[in-house]
Amino acid sequence: MESPGKDWDEACHGLESRLAYLFADRRLLQTALTHRSWDRIKGEVPFMAGPHNERLEFLGDAVLNLVISEQLFQRLPAADEGVLSHWRAQLVNTTALAEMARSLGLGELLRLGRGEARSGGGEKPTLLADALEAVLGAMLLDGGLDAARTFILRQFDEGLAGAQPEHLRKDFKSLLQELLQAESRPLPHYQVVTLSGAPHERHFTVECRVEGVPPALGEGRSRRAAEHEAARLVFLSLDGPPPPARQEPNV
């Protein structure tokens, strides 16, 4: 694999500054930022011809869940498995990871095929979340577990600090409905905006509309999970009581 062009290389240097991590093997970072669709045009840009980021994403997902699980286990010594699982789902989800990826500017650096780029792939939450996990996987291979853990703890510091067992109450759809009923306001309306993926890998985007506040989009592997995520975003925008952990509904 040849070296990237100067502009891309400089952009990656800027990314390393935001990551607060300097890669010894820049090729790992390059691969982490390469979507599988880029293979379709690799002949036009030889230096990017090579592996895409799905294997690194797999690795990054594993280390992210390991570090967050380890932290929750230590911070919540009295919590049972269910509480720990709910808090992990609250902290590690597509929406949260995509927001982190945007803050790091990963979308602008993603190497995408023409079709994916035309459809706004650099702004798709799923691709952004996958890219962040791939960067984590690259960091793990390049600098070891300590390097990956340091980055994860810095990114999740605020969320981990707010992980309190007393906040784990009801799911957000129920909380949102109760809040609106208490204020004699119309109930929320949920609508599926997009549905994609193979039958065994469905991905739903659901819009939640509540009178008087901007609509929110939630994503999930089922309609119900997407509705819960959209309800969570609306609930938090209404300045309700201290937020409970996001709960993954049974599907």
Active-site positions read 61, 133
pLDDT in tens, 127-150: 999 999 999 999 999 999 999 999
Task: Tell me what the pLDDT averaged over the chain comes to.
Answer: 82
User: Same topology for domains 6-166 and 169-237, yes or no?
Assistant: no
pLDDT tops 80 at residue 65: yes
Domain ranges of the chain: 6-166, 169-237
Q: CATH number of the domain at 6-166, please? A: 1.10.1520.10
pLDDT tops 80 at residue 19: yes
Residue with more model confidence, 173 or 16: 16
pLDDT tops 70 at residue 2: no
pLDDT band at 160 (very low <50, low <70, confident <90, very high): confident
Query: Residue type for 218, please?
Result: G
CA dist list (Å): 21 to 5, 55, 136, 137, 155: 21, 21, 11, 13, 13
CA–CA distance, 143 with 160 (Å, rounded to integer): 23
Please name the residues in contact with 145: beta carbons below 8 A apart, sequence gap of 6 or more: 63
Q: CATH number of the domain at 169-237, please? A: 3.30.160.20
Element (H, E) at 209: strand 203-209
* Average pLDDT of span 197-218: 87
Residue with more model confidence, 167 or 214: 214
pLDDT in tens, 217-247: 999 888 888 898 898 888 888 754 444 444 4
